[in-house]
Amino acid sequence: MTDNAAHPKGFGRPRDEPPTVWTDHPLRKRIKDAGGGIYYAIVGDSAQVDGWLTVGEKARDVWVWHWHTPTTGAPRWALSGCALHTVEQVEPLTLSPSLECEDGCPSHGYIENGRWRAV
């Protein structure tokens, strides 16, 4: 997972609580808990989420949040895009290859059947 600092308002702010409780977040109703401290949302046209992802294509419209614990700096919730990952299944969501955080953060695993499987 790549931590991106430049996101639209409300998307990349560090927070102390998980994304599902962010009442001011534009995607709050789309955020799903994958377990293991991983959350994801399918973004895109706000009027049409169903059918937005296609099996076999890149997951450009999937965003993932995780508790980022870098080797330097304070831990925080971080947003990552999945543009380099492939959609294997839309519902429940399955992506490949694995998602791995950078900066010494230990988050590494798969989203399979809508659930997080750490490796």
Beta-ladder partners of 80: 3, 64
CB 87 within 8 A of CB 59: yes
Q: Which residue has the tokens 């798969």?
A: 110
Residue 35 belongs to a domain: yes
Q: In which domain, by residue range, is 31 found?
A: 19-118
Q: Mean pLDDT throughout 66-95?
A: 86
Output the six-digit token pair for 118: 């750490």
Residue 1 belongs to a domain: no
Domain count of the fold of the chain:
1
pTM tops 0.95: no
Q: In what order do the strands lie in the sheet with 99-100?
A: 99-100, 108-112, 115-118
**For the segment 6-62, what is each residue's pLDDT rounded down to a tens digit?**
444 445 555 677 888 877 777 778 889 999 999 998 886 544 455 567 888 888 889
Residue 25 belongs to a domain: yes
Contacts (Cβ under 8 Å, ≥6 apart) of 102? 1, 2, 3
Residue 9 belongs to a domain: no
Residue 5 belongs to a domain: no
Residue 100 belongs to a domain: yes
CB 2 within 8 A of CB 67: no
> Largest alpha-carbon pair distance within the chain?
40
Residue 7 belongs to a domain: no
Residue 99 belongs to a domain: yes
